[in-house]
């Protein structure tokens, strides 16, 4: 039995554009292509797509995923590995749920709490501290600390407005990619004016640091995974576009 690309997109909630990109980079070729040019997928391809989506949810970038799915491992072995990752994530969320449940019980029960340490069990504060320290080393402690101070205590509404601005910028860039624009085109650089001004609300990148941020978006799997979820072309396009913007306008 075979499914068309439209049927696979509908089943998996993955856009046809993303499926075509996976084919272009050799990550998920279809089982065959019809005379009408449409891609068709069989059970083997659907199983690979499931593996790809699991690894995307776990934060892996496309390059890392390609290495894993091309490794030639037995399919059952790969699924066991994925199941292990998912169970580890389940356990992490279970720890967080227990922490919150215990806090609720203490607050509702009127207990005299003498220690607060257990209120923070399960939170990966070490990872956040690691990211902050990486940023301080990359761009300087003074700039990073100033940026953190700028956003400390901001309201939920403020964060939501920042998220909307970022989403609009990303949407504009994806539309420009769809229209066939190249990273150095004037329309793309004009769009990045908004991105640069948005960043200046936190810190003011120079030519070197703005280029370096584009590299970080594309190279760091923690950032790359988020861009890939939006559009698998986006991270590399932003890397090239941000480098072009830095050369032309900074």
Domain 3-69 has CATH 1.10.1660.10: yes
pLDDT at 29: 93
pLDDT at 121: 47
Sequence ranges of the chain with CATH classification 1.10.490.50? 154-249
Dihedral (CA of 8, 9, 14, 18) sign: positive
The residues pairing with 39 across neighbouring beta strands, listed in sequence order, are 33
CATH T-level fold of 154-249? Globin-like (1.10.490)
Q: Residue 229 in 3-state DSSP? A: helix
pLDDT in tens, the chain (250 residues): 889 999 999 888 888 888 998 999 888 999 999 888 889 999 889 988 888 887 777 666 677 677 777 765 555 666 666 677 667 667 767 776 776 776 677 667 655 544 444 444 444 444 444 455 555 555 566 666 666 665 566 676 766 777 777 788 888 888 999 999 999 999 999 989 888 888 877 777 888 888 888 888 887 776 787 788 788 888 899 899 999 999 998 8
The residues pairing with 40 across neighbouring beta strands, listed in sequence order, are 4, 32
> How many angstroms separate the CA atoms of 34 and 18, rounded?
19
Strands 39-41 and 3-4: antiparallel
Closest CA to 246 of 218, 213, 208, 204: 208
The terminus-to-terminus CA distance of the chain in angstroms comes to: 55
Sequence ranges of the chain with CATH classification 1.10.1660.10? 3-69
Structure tokens at 49: 């797509």
pLDDT at 47: 86
pTM over 0.85? The answer is: no
pLDDT at 228: 82
> How many angstroms separate the CA atoms of 57 and 147, rounded?
29
DSSP 220: -
pLDDT at 223: 76
Q: In 40-69, which positions are buried (b, 16+ CB within 10 angstroms) versus exposed (e)?
A: bbeeebbebbebbebbbeebbbbeebbeeb
pLDDT at 218: 84
> How many angstroms separate the CA atoms of 203 and 146, rounded?
8
> How many angstroms separate the CA atoms of 190 and 196, rounded?
10
pLDDT at 40: 93
pLDDT at 145: 61
């Amino acid at each position: 039995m075979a499914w068309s690309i439209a049927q696979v997109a509908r089943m998996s909630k993955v856009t046809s554009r993303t499926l075509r990109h996976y084919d272009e980079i050799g990550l998920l070729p279809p089982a065959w292509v019809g005379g009408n040019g449409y891609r068709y997928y069989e059970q083997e391809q659907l199983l690979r797509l499931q593996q790809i989506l699991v690894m995307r949810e776990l934060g892996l970038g496309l390059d890392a995923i390609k290495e894993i799915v091309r490794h030639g491992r037995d399919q059952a072995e790969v699924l066991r590995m994925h199941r292990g990752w998912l169970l580890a994530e389940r356990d992490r969320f279970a720890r967080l749920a227990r922490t919150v449940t215990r806090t609720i019980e203490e607050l509702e029960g009127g207990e005299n709490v003498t220690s607060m340490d257990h209120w923070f069990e399960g939170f990966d504060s070490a990872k956040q501290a690691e990211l902050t320290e990486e940023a301080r080393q990359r761009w300087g402690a003074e700039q990073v600390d100033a940026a953190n101070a700028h956003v400390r205590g901001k309201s939920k509404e403020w964060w939501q407005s920042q998220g909307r601005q970022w989403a609009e910028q990303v949407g504009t860039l994806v539309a420009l990619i769809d229209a066939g624009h190249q990273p150095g085109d004037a329309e793309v650089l004009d769009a990045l004016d908004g991105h640069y001004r948005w960043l200046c609300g936190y810190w003011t990148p120079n030519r070197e640091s703005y280029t370096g941020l584009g590299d970080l978006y594309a190279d760091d799997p923690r950032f790359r995974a988020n861009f890939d979820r939006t559009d698998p072309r986006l991270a590399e396009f932003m890397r090239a576009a941000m480098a072009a913007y830095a050369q032309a306008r900074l």
